[in-house]
Amino acid sequence: MTSASFTRRGVLAATPIVLATGALAACSSGGTSTGSGSDGGGEGGGGSLTIFTTGDEMSFDPATSQNLAITTLGLTARRLTAWKTSADAPTELIPDLATDVGTPSDDGATWTFTLQEGLQFEDGTPITAATVKYGLERSFASELTGGLTYHKVLLEGGQDYSGPFSGEHLDSIETPDDLTLVFHLNRPYGDFGWIASTPAFAPVPEDSGEPETYATAPVASGPYRLDSYAPGSRALLVRNENWDAATDEARTGGPDEIEFALAQDASVVAQSIIADRADSQTAFLASFVPTAQLVQAQNDPNVGDRLVTSGPGALEYLALNTESEALQDVAVRRAIQYAVDKQAYLTFKGGEISGDYATTLITPGIAGREEYSLYSDEPAGDPEEATRLLEEAGAADLTLRLVITDDQTGAAEAIQQGLARAGITVTIQPLDDNAYSSEVTAGDGSAYDLVLSSWQPDVPSPNANLTPLFDSSQIGSGNYNLARYDNPEVDAAILEASSTVDPDEAHAKWAAVDQQILEESPVVPLIYSKNSFLHGSAVENFVIGEFPAYPNYLTVTLNA
């Protein structure tokens, strides 16, 4: 993960990943706003909210963003659908610009959305179906890179389309009138309503979407507009007077303004918030609490519920390269399931406050997830069973190469000592970012046996858990099937589950795929990580939902 985009992608860091200029999140009541909309205001008592971030730059261009629906970009850019998060229930898909979450037809290969009437951009011009289509078309342009690609591979003709800047348009997005969008997909896809909550589905006026300038001169559709931006210093959001709270179920629009304080030292900010200093009372830290300050906050009675820890979230796992000569035998891979010491791994990560032990691939907080455990129920593992399986497989003297990034050494040593109990020798090879990319995500997989990583889905769907990590189309070329797992039967099962429109039927199929994959042991689930955040005493409605394990920026308010 990079701090600039902070998405689900990236290797597992030994220190907390920065929730910098927006991204993952989850939480809060997410209730329907009840403001009149006449002055653009919402709930929450006004005031000025500060969000401290370690990132030094921000982009407000939805075409290049991988932000989740409830973080930074969601403050300025609405989408067709949105998320309602809850601390005690799976995240719910709700309408945003649209009147519903999409109507499938043609067995799920065609999806229709109808916009609410009267929606406006910050300048008072109407939000129409054409502006949503143009926003999506911009995401295909070669000048704009880095955004999510789900819609690009699903829309008919998408793989041959290069964006609207040369006057070409994508015929598979129809706009029969100002309020109607019809999407024609190249196959049935049950989760298209979730895909419509991703950043590229934000509307963009055609006369303001220049690739060179839009990132810092966006036209807002959400409760806030960008007032000023200074890289390395701050970004100031102020009220969008043309946002109507009565049309928005996802956002409360509480503070009068929101300032992102950029390039901050997380330890220094955490100390200030712990002390509840005047300049931190109306603020929160958008990165995980550093370890030293986390211990301090836990032991300070004045902090109390201003330290907020999520439930179990992103999956941290050990990928086993199934193309490696040493790991092609499934019995050897299963032996590693028993040899790994998850207890030592979690202890290194910080103990119970840092995560729960993982046994499944679909992460908590996602509807349809089923609990199961195929291997040892003991967190410390079962090295005797591992040894027995290795002996039966004729692999008693096994030496494996574990490649890591520079900041993963401690986590890797926990894996190393666990496997050593079963007679497996692990050599740890740190790589810089470029070497890691060329060898692991973009390489041919010939030089490594094991990889430590983590995964945060883009949307709360089993599809977003399993397809990127285990579909054979996601091997190499910068993709994230790090186990290089290639099973035609699993590919077919993934295709069938993703094509199923009925949610209950789809959930049952995804649960079966989860176990089908893990029976072949391409990865060892380690923990579902927990994240801890700090906020000042004047911050309210700072709640973390079941998915994802981050605060919902869109519903935070102030008591000032």
Query: pLDDT by residue (tens digit) across 423-477?
Result: 999 999 999 989 999 999 988 888 899 999 999 999 999 999 999 999 999 999 8
Q: CB–CB of 22/552 below 8 Å? A: no
Res. 335: pLDDT tops 50: yes
**149-180 pLDDT, tens per residue?**
999 999 999 999 999 999 999 999 999 999 99
* Angle of the 409-420 helix axis to the 330-339 helix axis, nearest 10: 110
Rounded to an integer, what is the distance from CA 539 to the centroid of its chain? 24
Q: If you ran DSSP here, which 8-state letter would residue 485 be given? A: -
**43-72 pLDDT, tens per residue?**
667 999 999 999 999 999 999 999 999 999
Task: For residue 388, give every residue at least 6 positions away whose Cβ sits within 8 Å of its Cβ, in sequence order, or none.
Answer: none
Of 309, 364, 312, the residue nearest 543 (C-alpha): 309
pLDDT of residue 370: 95
User: Helix, strand, or coil here: 506?
Assistant: helix
Res. 204: pLDDT tops 90: yes
How confident is residue 30, by pLDDT bands cut at 50, 70 and 90? very low
Query: How far is residue 17's CA from residue 10's CA, in Å, rounded to a whole number?
Result: 10
Topology (CATH) of 315-529: Dipeptide-binding Protein; domain 3 (3.10.105)
Res. 16: pLDDT tops 80: no
**What six digits make up the tokens of 206?**
């055609």
How confident is residue 560, by pLDDT bands cut at 50, 70 and 90? low
* CATH architecture type of domain 48-261+533-558: 3-Layer(aba) Sandwich (3.40)
How confident is residue 90, by pLDDT bands cut at 50, 70 and 90? confident
pLDDT of residue 41: 59
Upper half-sphere CA count for residue 548 (Cβ side, 13 Å):
27
Residue with tokens 């740190």: 430
User: Helix, strand, or coil here: 356?
Assistant: strand
CB atoms within 10 A of CB 533: 25
Of 255, 199, 254, the residue nearest 33 (C-alpha): 254
Q: CB–CB of 98/80 below 8 Å? A: yes
Q: What share of the chain is helix, strand, coil (3-state, %, to 5)?
A: 30, 20, 50
Res. 23: pLDDT tops 90: no
pTM: 0.89
Lowest-pLDDT range of 312-326, 396-410, 496-510, 526-540: 396-410
Res. 338: pLDDT tops 80: yes
**346-398 pLDDT, tens per residue?**
999 999 999 999 999 999 989 889 999 999 999 999 999 999 999 999 998 89
Q: Distances from the Cα of 315 to the Cαs of 25, 96, 387, in angstroms? A: 15, 29, 26
pLDDT of residue 45: 73
Lowest-pLDDT range of 23-32, 166-175, 301-310: 23-32
Lowest-pLDDT range of 13-17, 269-273, 440-444, 517-521: 13-17
User: Helix, strand, or coil here: 234?
Assistant: strand
Query: How far is residue 530's CA from residue 353's CA, in Å, rounded to a whole number?
Result: 7
pLDDT of residue 447: 87
Query: How far is residue 223's CA from residue 322's CA, in Å, rounded to a whole number?
Result: 48
Q: Could you tell me the maximum CA-CA distance found in the chain, to the nearest angstrom? A: 74
Res. 7: pLDDT tops 50: no
Res. 87: pLDDT tops 90: no
Res. 39: pLDDT tops 90: no
CB atoms within 10 A of CB 425: 12
Query: What is the DSSP annotation of 371-413?
Result: ---SS--STT--HHHHHHHHHHTT-SSEEEEEEEEGGGHHHHH
Long-range contacts formed by 477-482: CB under 8 A, 24+ apart: 477/442, 478/437, 478/441, 478/442, 479/441, 480/9, 480/441, 480/453, 480/455, 482/319, 482/321, 482/440, 482/441, 482/451, 482/453
Q: If you ran DSSP here, which 8-state letter would residue 555 be given? A: G
pLDDT of residue 26: 29
Upper half-sphere CA count for residue 536 (Cβ side, 13 Å):
23
How confident is residue 42, by pLDDT bands cut at 50, 70 and 90? low
Q: CB–CB of 195/113 below 8 Å? A: no
Query: How far is residue 557's CA from residue 560's CA, in Å, rounded to a whole number?
Result: 9
Where b means 16+ CB within 10 Å and e means fewer, 226-262 reads beebeeeebbbbbbbebbbbebbbbbbbbbbebbbbb
Taken as a whole, the chain contains a residue count of 560
Query: How far is residue 530's CA from residue 57's CA, in Å, rounded to a whole number?
Result: 26
DSSP lists the bridge partners of residue 181 as 113
Mean pLDDT for the stretch of residues 141-156: 95
User: Helix, strand, or coil here: 434?
Assistant: helix
- Ordered by start, the domain boundaries in the chain are 48-261+533-558, 315-529
